Amino acid sequence: MRLRARLGIGALFAALWAAGCGFSNPPAEPRYFSPGPPQLSESDPTHVGERAPLRLRRVRAAAYLRDRMVWRRGVEIGFYDLLRWTESPARFAQTRIEDELFQRRGFVRTSQAGVPSLVVSVDAFDELLAPAHEASVVLSAELVDGQSATLLDHSYEVRKPIAGDDPRQVADALGAALDDAVRQLGEGVAQALGAKPL
């Protein structure tokens, strides 16, 4: 009787092992990434907006852009289960836009009413799978003056090739695309506000 019970338990363990029900590798853990570091610009805008006040609203993102990395093939959008961002794409964009406008271009940050106000949204932060393997970043910007007249209403789209299938290469390419889009946005804001070099 005991021999049968032992054989039954042994067969159960063997079946569980063969089915992979828990005695093999531990479950896969999510991997976290940040976009490639900000790239230094070849030309310094020399604080073209020195002392000009500017109100930057909180950057928003499309509803699907959260912590999971996104792929896109035509009109189809999907998410990687185990590839995540350390922060939201909106937060990455907020940080780089603040650096561009207030550090590099010298605008003065303010929360006062009656000064030019900038609203930015991240409309794409995607890995494109076809027809070419590219990183795609789209920033939409609306700048209004103190009387709510529109000074700038434009979308900045940048695509960068992705060298391979490694998620680090995807993150680097998205970081480079974000940098270019932010620089274009900064230039657009400077021109709309008529900022001149000192």
Q: How far apart are CA 187 and CA 109, in angstroms?
A: 17
17-23 long-range CB contacts below 8 Å, 24 or more apart? none
Domains and CATH numbers, the chain: 2-192 (3.40.50.10610)
Pairing of strands 60-61, 53-56: unpaired
Q: How far apart are CA 102 and CA 2, in angstroms?
A: 79
Query: In this structure, are residues 123 and 154 in contact, taking their beta carbons and an 8 Å threshold?
Result: no
Tens place of pLDDT per residue across the chain (198 aa)? 444 444 455 555 555 445 555 555 677 899 999 998 777 655 555 555 567 999 999 999 999 999 999 999 999 999 999 999 999 999 999 999 999 999 999 999 999 988 999 999 999 999 999 999 999 999 999 999 988 899 999 999 999 999 999 999 999 999 999 999 999 999 999 999 986 543
Total-model pTM: 0.81
Which residue bears the tokens 């490694």?
166
Query: In this structure, are residues 118 and 143 in contact, taking their beta carbons and an 8 Å threshold?
Result: yes
So what's the pLDDT on residue 170?
Answer: 97
Query: In this structure, are residues 108 and 141 in contact, taking their beta carbons and an 8 Å threshold?
Result: no
Q: How far apart are CA 56 and CA 93, in angstroms?
A: 12
So what's the pLDDT on residue 159?
Answer: 98
